[in-house]
């Protein structure tokens, strides 16, 4: 399969898309909330989000297989920021292989607390499942056809009212177990996605300059490999913090 070197691209589209007023609401790390948003975005009902109750093999075994994507909510901290910079510098220095099949967008500062929405979009667009016709499928297809950069796709997302409204509706749904923060609240946690593309495990973080290729994986080992990366690259930065939450997207056989 064709590969490319994925480097930072600061190219921006000079014509600004129409902006939707107000920052986006944060999604809760809750399978019911993620399912509501994902189904509105065209995910077939043969797939569903579920909780991952721990990162050890005996707990991972409870998760329905195959797992085709995952999202992680983790606490922001100085240690995490330092690790992110070290990782960025290493990739910039050594390079990495990223498949042309990866669909990646960068989170814009003006979008508010949309990291959960963007992580879910990264999961849905890279999980290998055909989405039903709708606003997200159209957005992905038009972005690919126009060869938009990750930065441009992130800017374009600001103007897609159908995605924003569905995301806000899910954030405020009765399935949420906590009160929805306001649009202006500063949250001390961040969402990212993990996906398998051409048997490589990618970390998709809209706040990073590029996807991170974490090496080889397989249909059978994907969730185990995700758990390993979470422990090695995230929990190890703040080992006493318990606020790490992983949800897995499973596909019915």
| Ordered DSSP codes for 83-99 | HHHHHHHHHHHH--EEE
Please give the biggest Cα pair distance in the chain. 52
For residue 223, what pLDDT is reported? Answer: 98
Count of domains forming the chain: 1
- Radius of gyration for the alpha carbons in the chain, expressed in angstroms and rounded: 17
Domain extent, residue 185, equals 21-251
Q: Are 193 and 177 in contact (CB under 8 A)?
A: no
Report the run of H or E that residue 5 belongs to, with start and end: strand 3-5
- The reported pLDDT for the residue numbered 176 is 58
Beta bridge partners of 194: 70, 203
CA dist 182 and 168 (Å) reads 11
Give me the pLDDT at residue 161, please.
Answer: 93
Residues 162 and 37: beta-carbon distance below 8 Å:
no
Asked if residue 15 is part of any domain, the answer here is no
φ/ψ of residue 247, rounded to 5: -120, 140
DSSP state of 178: S
Would you state the pLDDT for residue 122?
A: 98
Residues contacting residue 48 through CB under 8 Å, at least 6 positions apart: 31, 35, 249, 250, 252
Residues of the chain with pLDDT under 70: 1-22, 174-188, 253
User: What is the pLDDT, as a whole number, of residue 25?
Assistant: 85
Return the CATH number at 25: 3.40.532.10
Instruction: Specify burial of residue 205 (Cβ count, 10 A radius: 0-12, 13-18, 19+).
Output: buried
In a domain, 12, yes or no: no
Residues 6+ apart with CB under 8 A from 2: 99, 100
Q: Which of 47, 127, 190, 247 is catalytic?
A: 190
The reported pLDDT for the residue numbered 120 is: 97
For residue 4, tell me if it sits in a domain: no
Query: In this structure, what DSSP letter does residue 250 have?
Result: E
Q: Where are the alpha helices (DSSP H) in 196-243?
A: 222-229
Cite the beta strand spans of 23-126 per DSSP E: 47-52, 67-75, 97-99
Domain for residue 33, yes or no?
A: yes
Residue 86 included in any domain = yes
Kindly name the residue from 115, 127, 214, 247 that is annotated as catalytic.
Answer: 115
Does residue 13 fall inside a structural domain? Answer: no
Active site residue 115: yes
Nearest to 167 by CA among 219, 107, 207: 107
């Amino acid at each position: 399969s064709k590969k490319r070197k994925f480097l930072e691209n600061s190219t921006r589209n000079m014509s600004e898309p129409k902006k939707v007023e107000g920052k986006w609401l944060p999604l809760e790390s809750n399978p019911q909330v993620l399912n509501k948003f994902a189904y509105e975005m065209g995910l077939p009902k043969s797939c569903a989000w579920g909780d991952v109750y721990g990162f050890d093999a005996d707990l991972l075994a409870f998760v329905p297989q195959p797992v085709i994507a995952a999202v992680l909510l983790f606490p922001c901290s100085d240690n995490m920021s330092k690790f992110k910079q070290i990782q960025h510098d290493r990739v910039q220095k050594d390079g990495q292989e990223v498949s042309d099949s990866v669909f990646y967008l960068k989170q814009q500062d003006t979008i508010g607390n949309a990291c959960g929405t963007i992580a879910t979009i990264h999961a849905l667009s890279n999980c290998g499942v055909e989405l039903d016709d709708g606003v997200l499928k159209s957005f992905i297809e038009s972005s690919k056809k126009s060869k938009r950069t990750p930065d441009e796709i992130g800017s374009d997302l600001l103007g897609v009212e159908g995605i924003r409204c569905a995301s806000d509706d899910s954030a405020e749904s009765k399935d949420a177990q906590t009160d929805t923060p306001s649009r202006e609240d500063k949250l001390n946690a961040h969402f990212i996605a993990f996906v398998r593309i051409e048997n490589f495990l990618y970390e998709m973080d809209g706040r990073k300059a590029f996807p991170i290729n974490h090496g080889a994986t397989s249909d059978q080992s994907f969730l185990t490999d995700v758990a390993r990366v979470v422990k090695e690259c995230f929990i190890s930065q703040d080992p006493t913090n318990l606020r790490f939450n992983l949800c897995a997207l499973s596909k019915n056989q």
